[in-house]
């Protein structure tokens, strides 16, 4: 009598396991990207600080600071975009096991 529910429960367990694995891989990728970005940002900051200590004029110091601010902003926006893409890909991958389950009940998932 409860055989269909047993099969559904088994499928749900498999789907949850697959989704959890996808989220784990995605979050590991995000953590690695964030660590790499932080390391590069710190290195760039130290490099600019060394250059700032060697600058002889105020105009050159301002120019150096403006260049650093522009580069920092651009790299931050690029990194945020990259992290957003990883989050999107992770969510899509984690939801795939549930799409099949939902379609078996007659639901159609939007693309």
- pLDDT, one tens digit per residue, over 23-45 is 999 999 999 999 999 999 999 99
| pLDDT, averaged across the chain | 86
Task: Over range 81-105, report the average pLDDT.
Answer: 85
Residue 38 lies in a domain: yes
CA distance 90 to 29: 10
Residue 86, in any domain of the structure: yes
The answer to the question of residue 1 being in a domain is no
What is the average per-residue pLDDT within 65-86? 97
Mean pLDDT over residues 3-11, rounded? 54
> 94 and 26 in contact (C-beta within 8 Å)?
yes
Domains of the chain: total: 1
Q: Residue 110: inside a domain, yes or no?
A: no
Q: Which residue has the tokens 């920092």?
A: 72
Residues 15 and 95: their CA atoms lie apart, in Å, by 9
Please check whether residue 2 lies inside any domain of the structure: no
* Local confidence band at 1 (pLDDT 50, 70, 90 cut-offs): very low
Q: Rounded distance, CA 67 to CA 19, Å?
A: 43
Instruction: Judge whether 33 and 79 are in contact, CB under 8 Å.
Output: yes
Which DSSP symbol is given to 57?
A: S
24 in any annotated domain: yes
Asked if residue 92 belongs to a domain, the reply is yes
The domain in which residue 83 lies consists of 7-102
Closest CA to 98 of 17, 3, 5: 17
Quick check: is 111 in a domain?
no
Residue 51 has pLDDT above 90, yes or no: yes
């Amino acid at each position: 009598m409860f055989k269909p529910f047993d099969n559904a429960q088994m499928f749900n367990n498999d789907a949850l396991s697959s989704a959890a694995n996808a989220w784990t891989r995605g979050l590991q990728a995000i953590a690695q990207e964030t660590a790499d970005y932080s390391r590069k940002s710190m290195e760039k900051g130290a490099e600019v600080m060394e250059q700032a200590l060697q600058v002889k004029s105020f105009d050159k110091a301002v120019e150096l600071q403006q260049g650093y601010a522009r580069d920092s902003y651009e790299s931050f926006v690029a990194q945020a975009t990259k992290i957003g893409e990883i989050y999107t890909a992770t969510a899509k991958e984690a939801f795939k096991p549930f799409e099949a389950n939902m379609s078996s009940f007659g639901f159609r998932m939007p693309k």
